[in-house]
């Protein structure tokens, strides 16, 4: 799984109750194909056993700075690592790391590595708020480490709720991916992505919509964020989990989505219009729930705004714009027509009737039609891989345009 497969990651675990989450993080990284080395501090072994990580990773964890045959472990581990993540990072560990100490294997690895480092604090909310801990966090960022903000939530038993909770393993996993993969062409770029369906009211309880889950758009937004972009996700009602790290604007109707896209375009380097907005709305939505006994014989429909067309004048010069064409017949011909009519750099075409493609599945088979007239046809792939294929082409265009 990109970008984890075959990458050497060092997971450091320090002595906090949140270390139980680190076992699941290890599982996620290994499942994604990473080669994982685990370093446990002495206090970490008071909370979780080394055998747990050996079972999950297939490698015996490292626990000591000294030992016959292990005198240079800190150098070997530090040089092999392509990324280091410390989860949880206790207040004590952050203090020692901030002051450049090397009194155990994990702090020694930090001083010997040139790999990017991610620290994931976890502690009592009062400890996190202490000025000394905050100064340490600031200093760690100043020397180049990434320090996640802790979550708010339930703390250890009897301590209530507050900021200090270790983020969930899925969130840390995503940040490790961003640590591993930075795309120079997308780094710092503003990418706007739309996802999901829209809903057009028929009455206060019914609406017109479609079967889109939002999975494709969410996959594109996640991949763009992972590759270093600043991502604005404009989402209709989704039936997939929202990704982390994104600026999300929630909309309901096609008109609301069009308005949000227009507002975002003046600062956007690229727009990927992956949403499936409803094409029609009721001409006169009812003010009250339509009863069976009084239902109209016909429902008059009118067209909703075509988002790519009505926002065309808001695009900044040089912005890359990608559209989607989901069809049920003559898909490529329809895609070529939309590409020209809407002034796109590329359109992603797929056939909703093809098995494994379209709505409600984790895979897609797409073709790319470019403004140059060139076409590319991909095999059936997970939508996560389709997302990266789309972004590869967006990145190439942005690099060419400077």
Residue 378: φ, ψ to 5°? -95, 155
Model pLDDT, residue 1: 87
Determine the pLDDT at residue 294: 85
Does the pLDDT at position 67 exceed 90? no
| Model pLDDT, residue 70 | 63
Q: How confident is residue 154, by pLDDT bands cut at 50, 70 and 90?
A: confident
pLDDT of residue 21: 96
Give pLDDT, residue 295: 86
pLDDT of residue 360: 81
- How many whole angstroms separate alpha carbon 1 and alpha carbon 392? 16
Residue 68 has pLDDT above 70, yes or no: no
- Per-residue pLDDT at 164: 87
What is the chain's percent helix, strand, coil content, to nearest 5?
A: 35, 25, 40
pLDDT tens for residues 336-365?
999 999 999 999 999 989 888 878 889 999
Tokens of 123: 């502690």
Distance (Å, whole) CA 124 – CA 16: 10
What are phi and psi for residue 25, nearest 5 degrees?
-60, -45
Confidence of residue 92 (pLDDT cuts 50, 70, 90): very high
Instruction: Find residue 197's DSSP bridge partners.
Output: 276
CB 202 within 8 A of CB 285: yes
For residues 307 and 274, the answer to whether their CB atoms sit within 8 Å is: no
Q: Could you confirm whether domain 190-401 is CATH 3.30.310.10?
A: no
Question: Are the C-beta atoms of residues 81 and 39 closer than 8 Å to each other?
Answer: no
Question: Regarding predicted confidence, which is higher, 199 or 164?
Answer: 199
pTM above 0.85, yes or no: yes
Among 222, 130, 209, 214, smallest CA distance to 174 is for 222
Which band of pLDDT confidence, cut at 50, 70 and 90, is reported for residue 182?
A: confident
Long-range contacts of 322-325 (CB under 8 A, 24+ apart): 322/270, 322/271, 322/272, 322/273, 322/346, 322/347, 322/348, 322/390, 322/393, 322/394, 323/273, 323/347, 323/348, 324/216, 324/273, 324/274, 324/276, 324/348, 324/349, 324/350, 325/349, 325/350
pLDDT-derived band at 379 (thresholds 50, 70, 90) equals very high
Place of tokens 């109209």: 296
Count other Cβ atoms within 10 Å, centred on residue 271.
30
Calculate mean pLDDT across residues 120-128: 94
Residue ranges of the domains in the chain? Answer: 8-180, 190-401
**Residue 53 burial (10 A CB sphere; 0-12, 13-18, 19+):** buried
- CA 71 to chain centroid: 39
Average confidence score pLDDT of the chain: 94
Fold classified for 8-180: Rossmann fold (3.40.50)
The arithmetic mean of pLDDT across residues 6-28, rounded, is 96
Q: Which residues are catalytic?
A: 210
pLDDT, position 287: 94
Residues 391 and 186: their CA atoms lie apart, in Å, by 9
Distance of CA 320 to the CA centre of its chain: 21
| Predicted local confidence at residue 149, as pLDDT | 94
Q: 74: pLDDT confidence band, cut at 50, 70 and 90?
A: confident
Structure-block tokens of residue 379: 């095999």
243-289 pLDDT tens trace: 777 889 999 999 999 999 999 999 999 999 999 999 999 999 999 99
pLDDT at site 71: 60
């Amino acid at each position: 799984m990109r970008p984890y497969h075959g990458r050497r990651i060092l997971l450091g675990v320090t002595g906090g109750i949140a270390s139980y989450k680190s076992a699941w993080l290890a599982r996620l990284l290994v499942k994604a194909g990473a080669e994982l080395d685990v370093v446990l501090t002495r206090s970490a072994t008071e909370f979780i056993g080394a055998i747990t990580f050996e079972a999950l990773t297939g490698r015996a964890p490292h626990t000591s700075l000294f030992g016959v045959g292990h005198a240079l472990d800190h150098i070997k581990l530090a040089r092999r690592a392509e990324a280091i993540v410390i989860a949880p990072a206790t207040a004590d560990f952050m203090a020692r790391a901030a002051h450049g100490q090397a009194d155990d294997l994990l702090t020694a690895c930090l001083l010997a590595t040139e790999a990017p480092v991610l620290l994931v604090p976890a502690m009592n909310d009062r400890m996190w708020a202490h000025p000394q801990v905050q100064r340490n966090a600031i200093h760690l960022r100043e020397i180049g480490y990434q320090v996640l903000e802790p979550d708010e939530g339930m703390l250890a038993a009897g301590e209530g709720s507050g900021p200090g909770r270790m983020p969930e393993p899925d969130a840390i996993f995503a940040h490790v991916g961003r640590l591993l993969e930075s795309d120079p062409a997308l780094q710092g770029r503003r990418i706007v992505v739309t996802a999901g369906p829209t809903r057009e009211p028929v009455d206060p309880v019914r609406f017109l919509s479609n079967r889109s889950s939002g999975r494709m758009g969410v996959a594109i937004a996640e991949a763009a964020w992972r590759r270093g972009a600043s991502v604005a996700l404009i989402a209709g009602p989704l039936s997939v989990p929202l990704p982390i790290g994104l600026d999300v604007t929630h909309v309901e109707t096609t008109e609301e989505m069009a308005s949000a896209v227009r507002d975002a375009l003046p600062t956007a380097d690229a727009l990927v219009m992956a949403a499936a907005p409803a094409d029609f709305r009721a001409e006169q939505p009812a003010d009250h729930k339509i009863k069976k006994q009084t239902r109209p014989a016909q429902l008059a429909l009118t067209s909703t705004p075509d988002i790519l067309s009505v926002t065309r004048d808001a695009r900044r010069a040089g912005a890359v714009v990608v559209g989607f064409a989901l069809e049920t017949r003559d898909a490529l011909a329809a895609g070529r027509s939309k590409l020209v009519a809407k002034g796109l750099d590329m359109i992603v075409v797929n056939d909703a009737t093809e098995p494994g493609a379209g709505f409600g599945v984790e895979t897609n088979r797409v073709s790319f039609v470019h403004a140059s007239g060139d076409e590319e046809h991909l095999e059936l792939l997970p939508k996560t891989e389709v997302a990266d294929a789309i972004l590869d082409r967006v990145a190439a265009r942005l690099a060419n345009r400077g």
